[in-house]
Structures are given as structure tokens and as C-alpha cells.
């Protein structure tokens, strides 16, 4: 390995978060002074913010979205004229071409985003392409089982690609396809048994939300750490939101929902996550509002209930800000 290859690989690993600049400097025997270290941390923080909002990234994202939308519109315009083989080629074939090209570019230029852009376009086209292919080949896709198998295969494929390339776009598609697979496979199993499970989707969403929280916690020190905040947000929103749908006219859920929400507040302190804190506070406010309107509006009168509810909201807001300043920011 020559010097250029070594520097390129080191740059890629630093960019992916596998190696920090401090670790490199420590290995080289360069220990910055406290002042220089503070300046370095401040500069790296500024540069990190600038890199997240760089023109290049914005153009990549906008360009990928425009290309994906343009391809979909173009396919829709020529759909009736291209026949079965053409439909397979412009959906699955084109998606696979973009995905393979993305993998090649990620391998050759891991420190650039062009490979991720190609993978994004391929990830949008491939699921619909597989469905179109099965439909054109005469396989019935009106039942849940074929769709569950499709998304299961896509999930495993993206897990493998994510392991090889270590890129968060691939991890994002693995999570998306995995989520779809969970919903579809559970519905397929329940439908095949002939059972009627009331509120199945609500309980599934709670499980998925809890899984997102665990995934986010496990990603903190990996190349996927940029997904942590999003996973925390959707995880707590899915879990508490699905649980809140069960509260209406259900004594059992009315009793256990409060401990769940307070558990979310304690979890925000443990994970040091502002997203978990905000969403837990929002659902706590919703729960307090529901309990007040359900049990106290008639006895106290609606205006008095509103006044009490307003003061409760103010208190919860103050408590949320205090928790954020004292435990999360610290």
C-alpha cells in the first residue's frame, strides 16, 4: 500500500467515524495543549456543522430526489407502450444498475457521496421493480406472503451491503425494508391462521418503536451514529403514540400509560436525548389533557379544567426544560 492509498483509507475511516482525529494524533505521539485542544474542538465543531450543511451535500440530495422523481414520471409515461420485458427492465433492471454502480463508487471513492446517491436511487426503484417483475411473470402479489418475502430478501441484502460498505444510507434502507418486512410477515402469519387480532398494528408499532430505540442506542459509537437522533425520535414517537391510541376508553391502558411516559422521561436522561425528552413531554401533555377532559371536566366545569390544565402544561414545560439543561446538555 503506497502513501496515497494509506492516506485515502485513513481519510475514509475518519469520515465514517471509525477513527477519530484525537486517536490518530495520540498514535502519532502528538498531544495537543489544553488551549490548542479547545481551539481544535471548537474548530472541528464548526467544520462539522458546515460539512453537514455543505452545498455539495445539499446538491447531492436535491439531485438524487429530482432524478428519482424524473425516472418515476418517465416510466409512468411510457408504461403502456413498453410491454412486460420493458417494464421489468425500467424498474428492476434500472434499480439494480444504480445499486451496482453505487457499490462500485463506494468501493472506489468511499470518502465521497456519489455512491450513496446512486444507492438511494436504486433503493427507491428496486422494491417496486421486484413487485412489477413478479406481476409480469404471473406470480400473484395480491396476498401478503409474496410481499413479505420480497421485503425480507431486500432487508437481508441491505444488511449485507451495509456491513460491506459501512454507509448510513445502506443502513437506512436496511431499517426501512426491515420495518416493512416485520409488518408484512406478522400480518401474513396472522391471516394464515384465520385469527382476528384487534389493534395488531398498534402493538406492532410499539415493538418497532422499542426496536428503533435499541438500534439508536447501539449505533452511538459506530458509522451509523448520524442516524441515532432520527431513530430516537421515531422510536419514542412510535412507541408512545401507538400506546396512546389504546388509552381511549380503556382502564388498563389509562393506568399503565403514565408509567410508560415517565419511563420515557427517565430514558431521555439515560440516553441524553433531547428528542426522547421532547416527545415524552408531548405525549405526557396529551395524556394529562385526556384524563382531565375525561374525568374532571364535568365535576369542575370546563373553564376551571382548562385553567388547571394550563398550569399543568406550564409546570411540565418547566420540568422538561430543567431536565434538558441539568441532565442532557450536561
In a domain, residue 44? The reply is no
In a domain, residue 88? The reply is yes
State the residue range of the domain holding 189.
Answer: 56-197
Name which of 127, 164, 165 is nearest 147 in CA terms. Answer: 127
Query: pLDDT tens, 110-163?
Result: 666 788 888 988 998 899 898 889 888 887 766 788 889 999 999 999 999 999
C-alpha angle with apex 118: 112 to 121, nearest 5 degrees?
A: 140
List CB contacts of 320: < 8 A, sequence separation 6 or more.
277, 278, 281
Last residue of a domain, one of 144, 176, 197: 197
Query: pLDDT tens, 254-289?
Result: 999 999 999 999 999 888 899 999 999 999 989 988
Query: pLDDT tens, 213-249?
Result: 999 999 988 889 999 999 999 999 999 999 999 998 8
**Do 175 and 301 share a domain, yes or no?**
no
C-beta neighbour count of 250 within 10 angstroms: 13
- Residue 108: band (very low, low, confident or very high) from pLDDT cuts 50, 70, 90: confident
Name which of 138, 173, 172 is nearest 153 in CA terms. Answer: 173
In a domain, residue 39? The reply is no
Flag whether pLDDT at 311 surpasses 60. yes
| Count of the separate structural domains present in the chain | 3
Q: Give the N- to C-terminal CA distance of the chain in Å, as an integer.
A: 43
Flag whether pLDDT at 185 surpasses 50. yes
Amino acid at each position: 500500500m503506497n502513501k496515497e492509498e494509506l492516506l485515502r483509507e485513513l481519510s475514509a475511516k475518519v469520515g465514517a467515524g471509525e477513527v477519530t482525529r484525537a486517536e490518530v494524533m495520540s498514535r502519532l505521539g502528538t498531544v495537543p495543549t489544553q488551549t490548542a485542544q479547545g481551539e481544535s474542538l471548537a474548530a472541528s465543531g464548526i467544520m462539522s456543522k458546515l460539512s453537514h450543511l455543505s452545498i455539495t451535500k445539499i446538491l447531492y440530495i436535491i439531485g438524487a430526489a429530482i432524478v428519482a422523481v424524473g425516472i418515476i414520471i418517465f416510466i409512468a409515461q411510457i408504461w403502456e407502450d413498453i410491454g412486460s420485458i420493458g417494464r421489468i427492465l425500467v424498474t428492476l433492471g434500472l434499480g439494480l444498475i444504480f445499486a451496482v454502480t453505487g457499490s462500485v463508487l463506494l468501493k472506489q471513492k468511499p470518502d465521497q457521496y456519489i455512491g450513496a446517491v446512486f444507492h438511494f436511487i436504486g433503493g427507491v426503484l428496486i422494491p417496486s421493480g421486484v413487485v412489477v417483475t413478479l406481476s409480469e411473470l404471473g406470480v400473484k402479489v395480491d396476498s401478503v406472503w409474496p410481499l413479505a418475502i420480497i421485503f425480507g430478501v431486500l432487508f437481508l441484502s441491505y444488511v449485507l451491503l451495509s456491513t460491506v460498505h459501512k454507509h448510513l444510507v445502506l443502513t437506512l434502507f436496511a431499517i426501512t425494508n426491515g420495518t416493512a418486512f416485520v409488518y408484512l410477515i406478522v400480518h401474513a402469519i396472522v391471516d394464515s391462521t384465520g385469527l382476528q387480532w384487534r389493534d395488531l398494528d398498534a402493538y406492532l408499532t410499539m415493538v418497532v418503536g422499542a426496536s428503533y430505540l435499541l438500534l439508536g442506542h447501539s449505533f452511538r459509537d459506530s458509522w451509523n451514529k448520524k442516524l441515532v437522533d432520527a431513530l430516537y425520535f421515531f422510536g419514542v414517537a412510535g412507541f408512545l403514540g401507538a400506546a396512546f391510541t389504546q388509552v381511549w376508553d380503556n382502564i388498563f391502558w389509562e393506568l399503565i400509560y403514565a408509567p410508560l411516559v415517565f419511563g420515557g422521561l427517565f430514558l431521555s436522561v439515560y440516553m441524553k436525548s433531547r428528542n426522547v425528552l421532547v416527545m415524552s413531554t408531548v405525549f405526557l401533555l396529551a395524556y394529562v389533557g385526556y384524563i382531565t377532559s375525561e374525568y374532571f371536566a364535568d365535576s369542575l366545569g370546563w373553564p376551571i379544567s382548562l385553567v388547571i390544565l394550563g398550569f399543568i402544561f406550564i409546570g411540565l414545560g418547566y420540568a422538561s426544560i430543567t431536565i434538558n439543561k441539568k441532565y442532557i446538555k450536561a
